[in-house]
Amino acid sequence: MTDDTAVLEELKKITALLTPKPPPPAEHKNFLGQFKDFFSQYKVMGMAVAFILGLYLGTLVQALVTDLLMPIIQFATPPGVVWQDISFGPFLVGPFMGALVTFLLVVLVVFLIVKVSEKAKVK
């Protein structure tokens, strides 16, 4: 062996020693053990809670827009014009405005939740 080859071989040994080994896979022979691993690995409960809360948050924001904000917009429209009926030709703009305001409010609420959780150092 030449000096370069010896150094290269030594570096390969050091690299092998420093490379972390992957953890051995958890071996459960029964179905229940595999199910528990799946449940904890993919955080199924957390996803379910987030999904349910998201559904109700959407319903709450929809009610906020429909029942509180859009009546204010109705005051800004000319007398006799209902915002839900506003259209340009065949395009219904009023319902789109309601959906747009709802979307923007949902984004705002999610943004505020993220900011508050960051400030509280919740991960």
Question: What is the fold of 3-119?
Answer: 1.10.1200
**pLDDT reported for residue 28:** 63
CA angle, corner 97, sides to 92 and 99, nearest 5? 105
CA-to-CA distance for 41 and 88, rounded, in angstroms? Answer: 51
Indicate whether this model's pTM tops 0.75: no
Residue numbers in the chain where pLDDT is lower than 70:
1-2, 24-28, 123
Cβ–Cβ under 8 Å, residues 97 and 86: yes
Cβ–Cβ under 8 Å, residues 83 and 94: yes
DSSP 67-108: IIIHHHHHHHSPTT--GGG-EETTEEHHHHHHHHHHHHHHHH
Cβ–Cβ under 8 Å, residues 58 and 106: yes
